[in-house]
């Protein structure tokens, strides 16, 4: 979904001693503890384990293959801003599977009034009600895939080089070669005279396409984790002259803002902040067998979010000042109170007359988490 708004400050808690080193000029000793950056508590992203299929998947939008019938649903979608907004008034949930050739998705959406207008591939599909998939295989927020589809099965597939806040480009000419997608409508499209039950989407994305845009292993190995999220855009409509029409604001005369419902909340109306996307683990165990439990690394996730807190603050500061800051107060980041915990070291250095920066967190006997001014994040293991 292409609408981007300025998010409010987030919160990142880590029971650790933290050092921020802004070039060689300022050295600040901090502890990330129960009093943390921002205004609300740390939250682990949602998690799902995707199992292998039992056999061939027929992509027809119905999701009635044996493999789908034995696959667990995700939790129901929530508002993109999480608990700050009311829960969606229509149900949405998804399933995921994989085999040696494809990554499969099946989404079910409750909808009493199904409508669509767009029929041209790579149109801006979220101008209709739609379903969207976002995939970042290596979790570095660069080179991620976006897929959107409406009830006509009109597709918009694109590749994002990096988030828009980091100067990323949307490559609309990029296509998912070998894509399979289908929509099943339980009702009618564009007929206000009846009440529909809903529509469902089934998608198969070839691994060979994903492999072209990532350095991680594709297809994934058992236990590998990727970052994904899913969005449903839902517009408010009314019936005028026998047709569905978007409702307008009485004050401005413009369309009412769309609803944005997602699998894993983004904290703000900003799908293009991949650091908040959910986690999908891959299991080689066929679906329907013993449940596989794949753990999540909360320590790593907390550190990632600390670094992205700094990065978003740096991005906002640079927009105003054309340089990166050497000062926490400039970034509206305050030193939390001290608590006992694991000692780590965070260093933030600026380069090229403050036009570039790199921040890093050192974990004793483990290695460095690093992020740079492009927003790319990565882990570098210790040599010893």
d(CA 344, CA 184): 51
Q: Assess whether 114 and 78 both reside in one domain.
A: yes
Q: Assess whether 58 and 199 both reside in one domain.
A: yes
Candidates 199, 230, 211, 22; CA nearest to 102 is 211
Structure tokens at 33: 């503890």
pLDDT on residue 69: 98
Residue finishing a domain among 286, 313, 347: 286
Q: Assess whether 209 and 342 both reside in one domain.
A: no
Q: What is the extent of the structural domain holding 121?
A: 47-286
Taking the CA of residue 143 as centre, how many other CA atoms within 13 Å lie in the half-sphere pointing to its CB?
12
- pTM for the whole thing? 0.89
Structure tokens at 83: 């608990």
The total of structural domains in the chain comes to: 2
pLDDT on residue 345: 59
Decide if 3 is inside a domain. no
Q: Assess whether 230 and 319 both reside in one domain.
A: no
C-alpha torsion sign, points 146, 150, 153, 154: negative
Say whether 175 sits in a helix, a strand or coil. Answer: coil
Alpha helices in 103-247 (DSSP H): 207-211
pLDDT on residue 246: 98
d(CA 232, CA 75): 14
What rounded mean pLDDT belongs to the chain?
87
pLDDT on residue 343: 53
Q: Assess whether 149 and 249 both reside in one domain.
A: yes
Q: Assess whether 303 and 271 both reside in one domain.
A: no
Q: In which residue ranges of the chain is pLDDT below 50? A: 2-40, 335-340
pLDDT on residue 290: 82
Residue finishing a domain among 265, 286, 307: 286
Q: Assess whether 135 and 65 both reside in one domain.
A: yes
Decide if 293 is inside a domain. no
Q: Is 77 exposed, middle or buried (0-12, 13-18, 19+ CB in 10 A)?
A: buried
pLDDT on residue 346: 61
């Amino acid at each position: 979904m292409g609408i981007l708004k300025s998010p409010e400050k987030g919160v990142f808690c880590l029971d650790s001693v933290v050092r921020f080193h802004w070039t060689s000029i300022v050295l600040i000793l901090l502890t990330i503890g129960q009093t943390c950056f921002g205004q609300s508590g740390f939250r682990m992203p949602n998690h799902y384990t995707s199992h292998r299929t039992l056999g061939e998947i027929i992509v027809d939008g119905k999701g009635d293959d044996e493999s789908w019938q034995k696959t667990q649903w995700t939790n129901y979608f929530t508002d993109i801003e999480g608990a700050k907004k009311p829960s969606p008034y229509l149900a949405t949930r998804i399933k995921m599977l994989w085999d040696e050739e494809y990554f499969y998705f099946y989404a079910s959406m409750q909808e009493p009034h199904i409508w669509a207008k767009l029929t041209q591939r790579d149109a801006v599909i979220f101008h209709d009600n739609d379903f969207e998939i976002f995939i970042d295989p290596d979790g570095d927020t660069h080179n991620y895939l976006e897929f959107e589809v409406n009830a006509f099965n009109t597709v918009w597939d694109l590749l994002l080089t990096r988030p828009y806040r980091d100067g990323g480009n949307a490559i609309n000419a990029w296509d998912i070669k070998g894509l399979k997608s289908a929509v099943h409508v339980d009702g009618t499209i564009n007929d206000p005279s009846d009440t529909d039950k809903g529509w469902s989407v089934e998608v198969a994305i070839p691994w060979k396409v994903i492999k072209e845009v990532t350095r991680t292993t594709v297809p994934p190995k058992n236990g590998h984790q990727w970052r994904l999220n899913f969005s449903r855009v839902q517009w408010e409509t009314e019936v005028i002259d026998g047709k569905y029409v978007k409702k307008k604001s009485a004050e401005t005369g413009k369309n009412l803002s769309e609803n944005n419902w997602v699998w894993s909340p983004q904290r703000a109306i900003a799908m293009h902040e991949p650091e908040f996307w959910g986690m999908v683990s891959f299991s080689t165990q066929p679906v329907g067998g013993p449940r596989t439990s794949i753990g999540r690394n909360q320590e790593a996730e907390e550190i990632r979010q600390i670094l992205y807190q700094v990065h978003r603050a740096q991005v906002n500061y640079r927009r105003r000042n054309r340089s990166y800051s050497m000062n926490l107060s400039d970034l509206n980041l305050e030193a939390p109170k001290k608590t006992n915990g694991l000692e780590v070291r965070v260093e933030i250095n600026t380069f090229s007359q403050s036009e570039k920066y790199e921040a890093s967190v050192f974990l004793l006997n483990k290695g460095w988490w690093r992020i740079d001014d492009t927003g790319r994040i990565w882990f570098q293991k210790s040599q010893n």
